[in-house]
A and B are shown apart, each in its own frame.
Chain A
Amino acid sequence: METFLNILISGVLLGGIYSLVSIGLNLIFGVVRIVNFAQGEFVMLAMYATYFCTTHLGINPYLAVFLVAPLMFLFGLAVQRLVLQPLQNEPMMQIFATFGLLILFENSILALTRGQAFSLSGGYSSVVINLFGLKASGVRVVVFLAASGIALALMLFLQRTMPGKAIRAVIQDRQAARLMGINVERTYLLTFGLGTALAGIAGALLAPIYTLSPYIGGNFILAAFAVVVLGGLGSVPGAYFGGLIVGLIESFSGYYVDPALKQAIWFIVFVAVLVVRPSGLMGQVGAEEVGLREQT
């Protein structure tokens, strides 16, 4: 029983990481209709930025969030405006462009760091929270709480504020939104910036957990895609709960089957969802088919 609970907790905490990474990806996915292959690399860049802030500027990684996230927001604006906006109605070219960015970012960091791995010292990862005899890693609990808070805040933002409503309108129908006087391009810009800022938050909070390497983005991106397909296109709660489910699946299969097979298991989840419910748990039905059709 205790083993089971421990696996459950580690699964939920892992799920928190996936949720945190997936929410930004899914927002971009749902609104801008771009499959951002470089999202994992945005997280990676933010991790390195946080590392830099901590070691060179002496800022606590949890305070560095407030510096890294706005920077990533601006960076996201630049990428959207310069690279992705010109490719608005060309899904195939978007894939090439974001994949090109992925290769570019990954290897730029590789060139800058000369392949040396970094990890944040300061003993953040050794903090253990003891809860009725069950142990949980402190840094991961922070990530889980942050993911929950962000999901909630984002839902409120989308439901209650005017920019949020504009984003939802664009998710539903670009053309109708444009006719209602919404500046669709500016909504894209805002959303993409928001998505990369979320990647920035994720990177800052994950920096104390992982050993930094240029390829770490790849660890997140596949899981995040599985989460997006599972949770549903463009849905914030879908990404949140989808992340938790994928985390639990990985944790349990890692214990009872084999951790080496986690990618294969993600894929089985992936295909099973596609066959049974292609729109995902909380997505709009049909979004996977018409969601990416040409809209002008």
Chain B
Amino acid sequence: MTTSAIALADATAARSKPKSLATLVGRYVGLLLLACAPLGVMWNDPYWVNILAYAYLFGALACAWNIIGGLGGQFSLGHGVFFAIGAYSVARLYLDLGLTPWLAVFPAAALATLVAVLISWPTFRLRGPFFAIATMAINEACFALANYTDRLTGGPRGILIPFRAGFWNMIFIERWKYALLNFGFMSIVVLITVFLRRARLGHYLLAVREDEDAARSAGIDVLKVKLLGMALSAALTGIGGGIFAMYVRVLDPPTLFTLADIGVKFALISLIGGIGTIMGPVVGALLIVPIENFLRGALGGAIPGGHLIVLGIILVCASLFLKRGIVGAFVGAVHRIRNRKRS
């Protein structure tokens, strides 16, 4: 296997002085503030605020995917399921029981976690692409089920959440508040990943990714590690789904389950930014979401599916020429420069 970005970053880190948690957190808070800067500049421009809100939310979701997909190396295409569970649960709890979305995201996350563990148990015995197929099949099966269970999901018509602005309803008149909320969520997910990378579970996940058999013979309970990683990833994805639900306020199965828009998008964003790196998904989202928006505007009317043609080409080219993503390539370059100085 080619040296991955994380392994490279570790090698760099190992040679320089070990960093304390405080320095590390400080560094990532700084990077996050940088990511927030566009919002500070354009908070009054509804077009850009909307794009930024999407970018932050998808950055957070890609970051959550990255926990199991990047750190753990388990290529899930089924995260749309946890996303949808989060969205539907928050919508149902809010509409039927009047529970504020701020609290409803927690049972939603719990449900997403439970489902994640249940469906991962049999599928985690598969490796690599087999796992990807199985999770994709789960996504499509749940797509069909969501269309079928009228009473829970509203079926193909979907659920409509009425516009009642208010802090406790998580519905705002000013768009920048959504963007700020999504940014806050993204920051939490990034910081969780930072802590996770230094925690025992993070190291175990990396070990499982690099060599499952070696990890097992080193005494790591591989299945448990994968399940824990998946549970954390699914819980965060579920919360993201809940926030998404209150943002778009129209939930139907195609919005929540379409692979190219949801399940694969998380993976794509991580790939562009750098799979397995901490800031990669954030960088990827800040790049991909505006590009896609621009292409949809520029090509959408003239050529049906035009923006997706470009997206497909980006996907193929990135997999051929940008395997470690932008952040991975950057870390690699820094690594090379440091080495040159040393020698």
**What is A's interface to B at a CB cutoff of 8 Å?**
34-35, 83, 86-87, 89-97, 99-108, 110-111, 114-115, 214, 222, 225-226, 229, 258, 260-264, 266-267, 270-271, 274-275, 278, 288-289, 292-294
Contact = CB atoms under 8 A, between A and B. Distances in A.
Contact of B315 (A96, A258, A270, A288): A96
Contact of B304 (A86, A105, A114, A229): A114
Nearest 6 pairs of A and B residues by beta carbon: A100-B315, A104-B312, A107-B305, A267-B141, A103-B312, A100-B316
B305 A110 contact: yes
Interface residues of B, number: 47
B82 interface: no
Contact of B134 (A91, A101, A270): A270
A271 B123 CA distance: 8
Contacts of B122: 271, 274-275
A278 B130 CA distance: 11
B197 interface: no
A100 to B, nearest CB: 3
Interface string B85-123: 000000000000000000000000000000000000011
5 contacts: A100-B316, A104-B316, A274-B123, A289-B125, A294-B1
B319 interface: yes
State the main secondary structure of chain B at its contact with A. helix
A101 B316 contact: yes
Contacts of A289: 125-127
B325 to A, nearest CB: 11
A225 B137 contact: yes
A91 B128 contact: yes
Interface string B290-322: 000000000000011110110111111011100
Contacts of A90: 1-2, 323
B137 A222 contact: yes
Contacts of A278: 125-126
B126 A274 contact: yes
A259 to B, nearest CB: 10
Contact of A86 (B127, B271, B315, B320): B320
Contacts of A274: 122-123, 125-126, 134
Nearest to B299: A111
Nearest to B271: A96
Given A87-B319, A114-B304, A222-B137, 13 more contacts: A90-B1, A93-B319, A94-B129, A96-B271, A100-B312, A107-B309, A107-B312, A110-B304, A111-B303, A222-B140, A261-B144, A267-B141, A270-B137
Given A96-B318, A111-B305, A288 B130 contact: yes
B127 A292 contact: yes
A251 B240 CA distance: 38
B185 to A, nearest CB: 26
